[in-house]
Amino acid sequence: MTRIQGGLIDRNRPLSFRFDGRSYSGFEGDTLASALLANGVRLVGRSFKYHRPRGIFSAGSEEPNALVELREGARREPNTRATVVELYDGLVADSQNRIGSLEHDLLSVNDLFAPFFAAGFYYKTFMWPRAFWEKLYEPAIRRAAGLGSLSMLADPDAYDRGFQHPDLLVIGGGAAGLMAALTTGRAGASVLLADEDCRLGGRLLAEGGVIDDTPAADWVAGVVAELENLPNVRILTRTTVFGAYDHGVYGAVERVSDHLPEPGRKVRQTLWRISARHAILATGATERHIPFGDNDRPGIMLAGAMRAYVNRWAVTPQARAEDPVAIFTNNDDGHRTALALAARGVPLAGVIDTRSGVSSLGEYRTFAGATVTGTKGRKGLSAIELRHGGTSEWLNCGALGVSGGWNPNVHLASHHRGRPLWSDEKLAFVPDDNGPQGLLVAGAARGEGSTAEALADGARVALTALEALGISGTAPAIPVASEEPSAIEAFWHVPAKGRAWVDFQNDVTVKDIKLAHQENMRPVEHLKRWTTLGMATDQGKTANVTALAVMAELTGKTIPETGTTIFRPPYTPVSMGVLGGGDTGQRFRPRRLTPTHPWAEAQGAVFVEVGPWMRAQYFPRAGETHWRQTVDREARAVRASVGVCDVTTLGKIDVQGPDAGEFLNRIYANLMGTLKPGKVRYGLMLREDGIAYDDGTCACLAEGHYVVTTTTANAGLVYQRMEFARQCLWPELDVTLISTTDAWAQIAVAGPKSRELLSRIVDGFDMSNDAFPFMGCAELTVCGGLRARLFRISFSGELAYEIAVPARYGNALMERLMDTGKDLDVTAYGTEALGVLRIEKGHATANEINGQTTATMLGMDRMVSRKKDSIGAIMSRREGLSGDARRLVGFVPVDAGEPVVAGSHLVAPGDPVDMAHDQGWITSACYSPHVGSSIGLGYLVNGDSRLGQEFIAANPLEGQSVRVKAVSAHFVDPEGERLRD
């Protein structure tokens, strides 16, 4: 145990947890990492490629090493950084990327083969034989080189989303962020302050310094209390702003209940989409390390992390309290860690400083002009080799803190590709003013890293933001913080014979960078992909700048000449669950239900998804064992008596205005403006390029008042195109468009007895053929005064109507029709029978009007009026389209027992089945109870003059080949007498 006094943990709330099956205890306020350290656990994982023993390297979200599988069962989450996992009672975590125990990982044999796993290893090694890749190499690599494993169970948790629109988003609640929020909050701006940690304060919590003569943590508490009292300030802790998007939009994830054993009634996480007029990036800085030989042993960590562990969590970094701790640094900040450790009674082996002529800042030994050149300790550090004054010596120590300077966390400032600038003075990349519009950077994130600088900078940048927002603010008194020495001298890595790790998570060493250099993978983007540097889940937060410096040294260029890597969202890993939102399965997307859905459900209908709609596909009855039996019965009933079908899904657009007729003339290829009140006309719409687009009927309800019907699939798109025509092409036409698809429940009533059935429900309306002929429409009342619209149109080829009533009555109307028509054998039919009936009649739908076909192919070229202009008319006449010889015809199998298969291509008998001999294809097919065999529709070259000829319908994918005969597309009543009867 290495727990010491103090810290920001609650010793009255002990917590127990398990790691790799062993029980430990910690306190409220601990992270899993601090609790493991407090229990003397240093070995927490195995590295990605070499399975090297690894420990805790950092104290924050930049952690490359200490990745664990957190929780059990369906909630197991791999690759979780122990440094950001808040400890809770009963927490269970396991180490990952091992076979066997963590102590004796069988795959640590990989370490012996390290020479084979150098940069570009995958590209070089697994080239041959090609067939081995999928079956051998990839599975083996995936098992050996990897991270944690998924539970393979469905995620049991709920996720939420939300939207925020603050004047100002402050990202990061450390010294700079707190001052920025305070300054802007006091000025009355609406401020959203987000911080990834569970409590505000940032590095102030780790430094344990004094601000305005009070301990930093108390000063933070005072500021937080004031912010919480400002109604215009909102604080989101446990919230990572992970990406900066266009126009001031930011993405953030709030981990609502990741700190709890289970979310219970809460969601697990919330995705916030923040639209901020301005933002202040106050994300601080991340310490970098200095690579040296064997620098990856457990016990070696960032010096600043050691400071955080002793100050915030009251744990020391070594396994036993008596083990001395050493620091390796090129800057004053490393000495500050030594002071912090000494102040808490941790024995110090000394500070190894690369700078010559520096002296200790306190009571400890300093090796000036010295470097660390090697380490010992199989599963935890036991000694370091240091070289100074031309000699080497071994120094026993239980932990080593490494400080190579601090890299500003500029990530979000670069999310729009704006590259940071190199500062020779600060030896770091600092943000340029090329970041996202409205984003200002403050504090350590722009290299103003001392507490005093960050406090002042936060206030200063806040005033700039207020000015941009047009809000007047007052400069706050800047709190007084103690001086913090920060001198630094460039030193990037210690030359080593062995391996010196740069990127711990992806096992990339200095040698790998040298190899990439030798192999001419020198540009940064090549270096990254060749070595996989910075491509792990930590995105190289502790590695990238150091790697650049090493490459710069090899090429003899400066660091800025060598480049920077491009930062992309997300800043830290984001779970797929929260991006996807909470709703899965049936709730995955909104579903549109037709007005007769409750009735259809009660009938035991089988439903089919048609875009967002759920439509009744067919209505099985007792004794029917196959869907075909049901569909055949439904289709026969329509031909023999009467059937009813909900067709509400067809789009309905209300068109009104004095120029409505002229407008429709320009929308439809055929003449529509001549339509008289009380009449319906079939209409065809083209795309402007001349291809057929959509078809349906148009009804004229009154002078200057029409209802356009579209196909189900194109309802929204046709409306959009009509609005485009109205607003953008012909604004001079006085016309209004309103979509009314949902307002009316529309039921098709089809079959020879449809007139009789409907006469039973209309209120004194003359249904006779003379009074209400084919293609008539009327507004009337039914069932004792309910307003309705009646259209005499037919999709099946039978005498048929469509009746529309206000949607709330649709269900009752369907029940009434079924009830009233019992003696007429009225039969409900679904989309499947609907399809059979229209194929039998030779009506085109989306299979035929599929975006590649023309009016000419559909046999409708004469519909494209030459008396007027309309969308697509001009282009439909170009030779390529008007000269197309393919025509829509019908097909029957020569052997009535054979199927016709949609998608099959047609060739003449004896010809090879290839595109050179292609004669067309089958667009739709079904079994026709009317014909007594399978039938199909399809496009055939010169089809209209080849009726009676035989073809092979070939489906090479399935090895099918059926002899078919071309026939008229109208299998039913080709003269159209029934529907006019």
Partner 1 sequence: MLIPHPLLGLRDAQEFTYLGDASLMARPDPDQPDAEAAFADYVFLRDNPAGVHRELWFHEQGDRSWLVVTRNTVTHEILGAELATDVARRGA
Partner 2 sequence: MTDLTPITALGDSVPRVHTAGGYTLRENADLALASLAVARGVAAPAPFGLGLPDAGGLAVGEGGRSAFWTAPDQWMIAAEGMAETDFAASLLAEVPGGRVTEQTDGWTAFEIASEDAAQIESLLERLVNLPAAATAPGRATRTGLEHMSVFVLRRTDSHVTIIGMRTLAASLWHALETAVDRLGGTQ
> Which residues are at the interface with partner 1 (CB under 8 A)?
245-249, 273, 275, 437, 688-689, 716, 720, 723-724, 726-729, 731-732, 869, 873-875, 877-878
Instruction: Select from 57-65, 654-662, 859-867, 911-919 the region that touches partner 2 (CB under 8 A).
Output: 654-662
Query: Distance between CA atoms of 2 and 45, rounded to whole angstroms?
Result: 20
For residues 207 to 246, the per-residue mask of contacts with partner 2, x marking binding by CB under 8 A and - elsewhere, is ----------------------------------------
Q: Which does 917 bind (CB under 5 to 8 A by kind): partner 1, partner 2, none?
A: none
Query: Distance between CA atoms of 194 and 171, rounded to whole angstroms?
Result: 5
Q: Which does 874 bind (CB under 5 to 8 A by kind): partner 1, partner 2, none?
A: partner 1
Binders in 56-85 for partner 2, by CB under 8 A = none
Residue 165 Cβ, how far from partner 1 at the closest point, in Å?
9
Place of tokens 């008042």: 705
Residue 874 Cβ, how far from partner 1 at the closest point, in Å?
5
User: Angle, to 10 degrees, between the axis of helix 510-518 and the axis of helix 544-555?
Assistant: 40
Q: Which does 882 bind (CB under 5 to 8 A by kind): partner 2, partner 1, none?
A: none
Binders in 847-866 for partner 2, by CB under 8 A = none
Is residue 734 at the binding interface for partner 2, with CB under 8 A as the rule? yes
Assess contact for 170 and 274: CB atoms under 8 A: no
Which of 246, 425 has the CB closer to partner 1?
A: 246
Which of 124, 808 has the CB closer to partner 2?
A: 808
CB atoms within 10 A of CB 805: 24
Residue 164 Cβ, how far from partner 2 at the closest point, in Å?
7
Q: Which does 742 bind (CB under 5 to 8 A by kind): partner 2, partner 1, none?
A: partner 2
Q: Which does 245 bind (CB under 5 to 8 A by kind): partner 1, partner 2, none?
A: partner 1
Instruction: Report which secondary-structure segment, H or E, holds 55.
Output: none
Residue 134 Cβ, how far from partner 1 at the closest point, in Å?
39
* Residues with Cβ within 8 Å of residue 343, at least 6 apart in sequence: none
Residue 709 Cβ, how far from partner 1 at the closest point, in Å?
19
Which of 558, 727 has the CB closer to partner 1?
A: 727
CB atoms within 10 A of CB 356: 11
Query: Distance between CA atoms of 699 and 720, rounded to whole angstroms?
Result: 20
Largest CA distance in the chain: 115
Give the sheet arrangement for strand 606-610, strand by strand: 592-593, 613-618, 606-610
Place of tokens 């007769």: 596
Residue 190 Cβ, how far from partner 2 at the closest point, in Å?
8
Query: Distance between CA atoms of 600 and 602, rounded to whole angstroms?
Result: 5
Q: Which does 146 bind (CB under 5 to 8 A by kind): partner 2, partner 1, none?
A: none
Instruction: Select from 154-162, 318-326, 469-477, 871-879 the region that touches partner 2 (CB under 8 A).
Output: 154-162
Among 100, 162, 215, 932, binds partner 2 (CB under 8 A): 162
Query: Distance between CA atoms of 789 and 397, rounded to whole angstroms?
Result: 90
Which of 146, 716 has the CB closer to partner 1?
A: 716
Name the residue among 884, 875, 858 with its Cα closest to residue 688.
875
Among 40, 580, 657, 678, binds partner 2 (CB under 8 A): 657
Is residue 807 at the binding interface for partner 2, with CB under 8 A as the rule? yes
For residues 106 to 145, the per-residue mask of contacts with partner 2, x marking binding by CB under 8 A and - elsewhere, is ----------------------------------------
Which of 437, 558 has the CB closer to partner 1?
A: 437
Which of 325, 782 has the CB closer to partner 2?
A: 782
CB atoms within 10 A of CB 487: 11
**Torsion, Cα of 815, 817, 819, 821 (10° steps):** -160
Assess contact for 717 and 683: CB atoms under 8 A: no
Query: Distance between CA atoms of 343 and 86, rounded to whole angstroms?
Result: 26
* Residues with Cβ within 8 Å of residue 915, at least 6 apart in sequence: none
Query: Distance between CA atoms of 117 and 114, rounded to whole angstroms?
Result: 5
Q: Which does 594 bind (CB under 5 to 8 A by kind): partner 2, partner 1, none?
A: partner 2
Query: Distance between CA atoms of 596 and 809, rounded to whole angstroms?
Result: 9
Which of 160, 898 has the CB closer to partner 2?
A: 160
Is residue 267 at the binding interface for partner 2, with CB under 8 A as the rule? yes
Among 265, 497, 822, 866, binds partner 2 (CB under 8 A): 265
Q: Which does 246 bind (CB under 5 to 8 A by kind): partner 2, partner 1, none?
A: partner 1
Binders in 532-591 for partner 2, by CB under 8 A = 582-583, 587, 589-591
Is residue 738 at the binding interface for partner 2, with CB under 8 A as the rule? yes
Instruction: Report which secondary-structure segment, H or E, holds 250.
Output: strand 249-254
Query: Distance between CA atoms of 333 and 326, rounded to whole angstroms?
Result: 14
For residues 689 to 728, the per-residue mask of contacts with partner 2, x marking binding by CB under 8 A and - elsewhere, is ----------------------------------------
The one-letter amino acid at 921 = W
Assess contact for 24 and 35: CB atoms under 8 A: yes
Query: Distance between CA atoms of 331 and 400, rounded to whole angstroms?
Result: 15
Which of 357, 731 has the CB closer to partner 1?
A: 731
Which of 248, 304 has the CB closer to partner 1?
A: 248
Residue 728 Cβ, how far from partner 1 at the closest point, in Å?
5
Residue 658 Cβ, how far from partner 2 at the closest point, in Å?
8
Q: Which does 809 bind (CB under 5 to 8 A by kind): partner 2, partner 1, none?
A: partner 2
Give the sheet arrangement for strand 168-171, strand by strand: 233-236, 191-194, 168-171, 278-281, 439-441
Burial (0-12, 13-18, 19+ Cβ within 10 Å), 425 = exposed
Burial (0-12, 13-18, 19+ Cβ within 10 Å), 99 = middle
Name the residue among 576, 540, 646 with its Cα closest to residue 64.
540
For residues 268 to 287, the per-residue mask of contacts with partner 2, x marking binding by CB under 8 A and - elsewhere, is -----x-x------------
Instruction: Select from 309-317, 383-391, 742-750, 838-846 the region that touches partner 2 (CB under 8 A).
Output: 742-750
Q: What 3-state class would DSSP assign to 498?
A: coil
Q: Which does 128 bind (CB under 5 to 8 A by kind): partner 2, partner 1, none?
A: none
- The first and second tokens of residue 20, run together, are 């790799």
Q: How far is CA 789 from the centre of its chain?
A: 44
CB atoms within 10 A of CB 851: 9
Is residue 592 at the binding interface for partner 2, with CB under 8 A as the rule? yes
Query: Distance between CA atoms of 276 and 247, rounded to whole angstroms?
Result: 8
Among 72, 433, 525, 742, binds partner 2 (CB under 8 A): 742
Binding residues vs partner 2 (CB under 8 A): 158, 160-165, 265-267, 273, 275, 582-583, 587, 589-595, 597-598, 612-613, 648, 654, 656-657, 731, 734, 736, 738-745, 781-787, 805-809, 811-813, 816
